[in-house]
Amino acid sequence: MKKRSLELQKEIRVKMIKKIEKFFLNERDEEIGELAAIQFLDFITENLASEFYNKSIRDCMAQLSINIEDLKGLEL
């Protein structure tokens, strides 16, 4: 299957960039610029986001399987 790129809405992307800048400042006592935050976000979305996405899909499939079994129990 072809790897798909995660595309974010502009407003969400801007919020994420600000959160990254705040994280580095608060947790690492490093002030990074917007460009560095953008590059960090791009790295995450291009290299790691698919793992989180796939985990979410597997979790949903597992829950759906449980729900289907519950529905089967309702058959007359």
* pLDDT tens per residue, range 3-52: 666 789 999 999 999 999 999 999 999 999 999 999 999 999 999 999 99
1 part of a folded domain: no
63 part of a folded domain: yes
The pLDDT score that the predictor gives to residue 67 is 94
H or E element that contains 12: helix 10-28
CA max distance for the chain: 64
4 part of a folded domain: no
Closest listed residue to residue 43, CA positions, set 26, 20, 24, 25: 20
27 part of a folded domain: yes
What domain count does the chain have? 1
| CA 23/CA 29 separation, integer angstroms | 9
The pLDDT score that the predictor gives to residue 4 is 64
49 part of a folded domain: yes
pLDDT above 80 for 2? no
The pLDDT score that the predictor gives to residue 75 is 82
2 part of a folded domain: no
The pLDDT score that the predictor gives to residue 1 is 56
67 part of a folded domain: yes
